[in-house]
Amino acid sequence: MTLDELKPGGWCQIKRISVRDRLGQRLMDMGLCPGLHLRVVRNAPLEDPMEVEIEGRFISLRHTEARFVEVEGHDQ
């Protein structure tokens, strides 16, 4: 599944970044690196963008961007 499908409060592990160039590089640079675990913190009042916590850092991104983060959901 992909990150944009996750609901606030959901946990997952990043499997793969499926986009390259500018967006792929940016996601990696901001710390969304395969293997790491993250938590979806909340959605913005208008549902988009979303905010995630990864390794103590809070990152916000649009759902259209989160679609390229392949994840595997889990509890905690």
Partner 1 sequence: MTNKKILVALAGQPNCGKSTVFNALTGASQHVANYPGVTVEKMSGSYRYNGRTVEVVDLPGTYSLTSYSPEERVSRDFILHEKPSLVVNVTDASNLKRSLYLTFQLLEMEIPLVLNLNMTDMAEQVGVVIDTEGIAEHLGVAVVPTSMKNGQGKKALFNAVAAAAEGGRKAAVRIDYGVMEPFLRDIEKRLADETTMPAFYPARWVAIKLMEGDGETRNLVRADSPRAEHLLRFTERLRGDFESRFNEAPELFIAHRRYREADDIERRYITPGRQAVGTLSDRIDRVVCHRLLGPIILVGVIWILYYLSIVQGYHITNYTWPLLAKIRSLAEAVTPQPGFIEIPMLRALVLWFVDSVNALLNYIPILFILFGLIAILEDSGYMPRMAFIMDRFFSRYGLHGQSTLPMVLGGIYVGGCAVPGVMACKGIPDERSRLATILIIPMLNCLAKVPLYVLLINIYFAAHKAWAMFFISTISLLIALPVSRILTLTILKDKETAPFVMEMPPYHLPTMRGVLGRATERVWLFIRKITTIVAAVAVVLFVLLQFPGINDERQVYYDAKKDKAIADFLSQIEGTPFADDLQGENLMAMILYWKEYKNARMLTKGPEAMSTLNATYKARNPVFFRIVQPGKDKVAKQANRAFKNLYRKRQDLLREIRKERIDNSFLGRLGRWPEPVTRFAGFNWRVNVALLSAFAAKESSVATLGALYEPEEEGEALEARMARGEAGFTSLHALTLMLFMVLYPPCLATSIAVKLQTGSVKWMLFSMAYPMALGLVVAVAVFSGGSALGLTGLQAMIAFYGLALALTVATGLLKEKERYS
Among 2, 15, 30, 70, binds partner 1 (CB under 8 A): 30
In the bound complex, what is the minimum distance in angstroms from residue 73's beta carbon to partner 1? Answer: 21
In the bound complex, what is the minimum distance in angstroms from residue 51's beta carbon to partner 1? Answer: 6
Q: Does 5 bind partner 1 (CB under 8 A)?
A: no
Q: Does 7 bind partner 1 (CB under 8 A)?
A: no
Number of H helices, E strands in the chain: 2, 5
Q: Does 65 bind partner 1 (CB under 8 A)?
A: yes
| Identity of the residue numbered 16 | R
Name the site residues for partner 1 (rule: CB under 8 A): 17, 19-31, 33-34, 41-42, 44-49, 51, 53, 55-62, 64-65, 68
